Chains A and B, each alone.
Chain A
Amino acid sequence: MLTEYSSLITLIALTAILAFSFYAVLIAGQLSLAQVGLASLAAFTSSLVVPAEPLFGFIPPLLIGIVFGMCVGIIAAFILGLPVIRLRGVFLAIATLAFGEMVRIFLINQSWTNGAQGMSFAKLVGIEIAWIALAVVAFWFWRLSGSRMGRAFAAIREDELAATTMGIDVPRYRMASFVIAGAVAGLYGVLLAYFSRFADPNEFSFTAAVDGLVTAVVGGVTFFVGPVLGSIFLSVLPEVQRVVGIDAGWIRPTISGVLLLVVILFLPGGLSGLIPRRRSAKRLIVDPSERPDLPALPAPGTELVRLQGLGKSYGGVHAVRSVDLTVAAGEVLGLIGPNGAGKTTLVNMVTALTTPSTGRGTVLGIPLNDSTRAHRLAQAGVARTFQQIKLFNRLSALENVLVGGYRITHDTLLRRLVFLPSARRFEREAVAMASAQLIRVGLGDKAANAAGDLSYGDQRRLEIARALASHPSMLVLDEPAAGMNHVEAGRLSELIRSLAADGIAVLVIEHNVRMMLATCDRIMVLNFGEVIASGTPADIARDPKVLEAYLGSSGSDADADAAAALAAEDLAEATARSVGEHERGVSASGDGANESDDTQPEGDR
């Protein structure tokens, strides 16, 4: 049996390695079709360096080929990545596809490859080497999946912007996944050539790239055994048909096509989705002694944010005009104003998601300008939530918070590869930190639930827990109470107060004016991009300009509610209806485009 199927078994391993190369980019949410082009480059160039005899008498030729091929893959992937890494989705797929075709045409036109005649290679790869190589690759991805780097990839796949605000340098990680994929592709190219003893550039065509992609997706890209399962499924399928006695010819590809369709349509997670797994492999760690010692927050009263004349205009429309603002450690600063007043634009500037057009600003010592990138600011200690919730929906609640801890945790991939005890210790510390935050926002019992399955209010709280996990000096909350009833809002208010008491500076945008008046140390009111009032909650509640602004706003029910809250002397009598319901009603109706857009100008009326 082994001799009859030795090629099949070897090819299963090789195809799985190719699929891992696709897996490496897919786990970071990228669709690259350059893999076979990279493999082709590695295979053909390796023929130039692989010696016939062991080097120095003991280094096997294949090892030289593999190392060289992986280096070629890495370098080529890096060079390709420089221009294409900023492309997304289908655009990235097509650009990389074009690259693959360019490699193929280039190699066909080279005389050293014999063009279409192809090249012969020595037979150096058999079952054992192929499966050892696969085992090494699979091991790498297994250890990657639980490491900080693996979580960063998952975060980027789920939501790039949110990942950035966790301090993850998205372009760097995207490039890392590209380069890892390049190394694996190079490995595949060399192994395939030295297994099949022959290669011509046409073997590394668009069709081959699509086959590799299909293998990876059929196997599933959320679990590291996916590529292996995909490869087994697709490699064994023709053989099974042969054994079962289905005639060679058109019927076989038809059956394969139907089965492929069935798998794609009915198994969303691919074949590896069939393997029962808990959503989160980790339990909460509640023992406080497991938590690491964290650096102290800035002393209360330290000025963390200073904005001078900061403004933003979009093609002549001033979303924010000349705002002066300071935020100190330990204080809660509220930002209110009617819909479209420029609140979100302002906090987007403070968190470096939007570049200011005018004025100066410094956040935690980092100046806000063209070159300030959001993840730098996040690493300095700014954490935020979003008006439109941006959780990593397919990850568990705990995993979401673990990603949030990116800033204060260590990268554990290398340690995990060699099973260093410190890897485990660091992991436990990270989980302990994350558990503490989950419990703090009251989601301790939902740690294993997928974030996307949580209720609206729970999702809001989870976002806060995730932001807190980075141990921020400053926390920016964009409408944290939206969708909460007044009991929940009350609890949120307490939470915000306790955070400030810990020494965190909290900048909060909220429509629930009643809650804001009760929570904030200071409140700033924005209208039409300008600060119209600023002061203690008591001052703001009495300021007629503020009421006027809300009443004058043609905006939403929420604005009307805010006005009502302000107008009512007795805060308890203010609107009893849940603000949240209105919020959700608003975003589903015509005004939704504006509501749902965090970085676009708000001033469009």
Chain B
Amino acid sequence: MQLFLDGIFLGSIYALFAIGFTLVFGILDRLNLAHAAVFTAGALVGIEIVTRLGVPIWLLIPMVLVLGAVLGILIERIAFRPLAGRHDAHFAGLISSIAFGAIVLSVLQAMYGADTRRFPADIFPRTRVEILGATVSLLQVVILIVSVSLMIVLTWLVAKSKLGRGMRTIAENPHAAAVLGLNVGRISSTTFALSSALGAVAGVLFTLNVNAASLGIGHAVELKALAVIVVGGMGSLPGALIGGLILGVAEVLAVNYIGSSWRDMVAFGLLFLILILRPQGLFGARKTREV
């Protein structure tokens, strides 16, 4: 049981990162590789805010959300929008988001140095809880709850709200969306803002959970998150959550039954297999491209 829960909690972190990641992919069909930098920025700026201003955690989260949203809008405006309509927008978007991420990281290094930083120990109560014979921390439970509720709220948002309808129309056919009078630019900005806000908060929760934030944390999670969104199905929000949990559990089981040296092999092997056997992922609907 402890094993299983460990996997679930590990997976919920992956999911938290992946939900924002997959949101942009699902709607705008773009892989935003600057997401890792936003994640790191959320963590490091969050730490700065807390140590400088001493704000409590419940106040910090909205501040980081805003930071993430601003970064998201910048990413969309600078790295993606100028590419609209270009035949190589796919490749170019990858590269421009990588470049944007690199700039964000170097600015973070300029602001806070390269040292590993962390939140003050008392920012979040380190309470331990007994669940089904396993001990877990309160924080882990909170992260899991946050991941699940985010997934539900976002799924609802995309499925039911006006914004969500706009998003889905764009996902279906951007040209048609423009013809129908949707403000494609604003909706993609909003999508990026939403995605990055989630990414930034994920960075804060992640850092609280592991008690360390360095410039490289986003990068380490990014690869796993790629695995998660593929396993769960590109663009599928529930898929990102379930994919994250599956990956987390698979990794923990690999550590215990195969050997920790091969743990990452399991993650990428799983990813590879899923792509071969079911490219649309466990929960993704295959986009039928017109021919």
Binding site for B on A (CB under 8 A): 26, 31, 83-84, 87, 89-91, 93-95, 97-99, 101-102, 105-106, 108-109, 161, 206-207, 210, 213-214, 217-218, 249-251, 253-254, 256-258, 260-261, 264-265, 268, 353, 388, 393-394, 588, 592, 596-600
Contact = CB atoms under 8 A, between A and B. Distances in A.
Contacts, number: 130
Given A97-B226, A251-B106, A257-B102, A109 B261 contact: yes
A105 B109 contact: no
B78 interface: yes
B122 interface: no
A217 B90 contact: no
B227 interface: yes
A599 B219 CA distance: 41
Chain B, interface size category, equals 35 or more
Q: Is the interface of A mostly helix, strand, loop or mixed?
A: helix
A84 B99 contact: no
A258 B283 CA distance: 38
A385 to B, nearest CB: 14
B174 to A, nearest CB: 13
Nearest to A101: B268
Contact of A90 (B31, B82, B88, B223): B31
A599 B291 contact: yes
A91 B275 contact: yes
B74 to A, nearest CB: 12
B219 to A, nearest CB: 8
Nearest to A260: B99
A128 B105 CA distance: 37
A95 B95 contact: no
Contacts of B271: 94-95, 98
B234 A90 contact: yes
Contacts of B78: 261
Interface string B217-246: 001000100110010001000000000000
Nearest to B88: A268
Interface string B146-176: 0000000000000000000000000000001
Contacts of A256: 102
Contacts of B290: 388, 596-598, 600
Contacts of B109: 249-250
Contact of B95 (A94, A109, A214): A214
Nearest to B108: A250
Contacts of B269: 98, 102
Interface in B88-130: 88, 90-92, 94-96, 98-100, 102-103, 105-107, 109-110
Nearest to A162: B291
A95 B275 contact: yes
B227 A98 contact: yes
A268 B102 CA distance: 20
Given A210-B98, A217-B91, A250-B109, A83 B103 contact: no
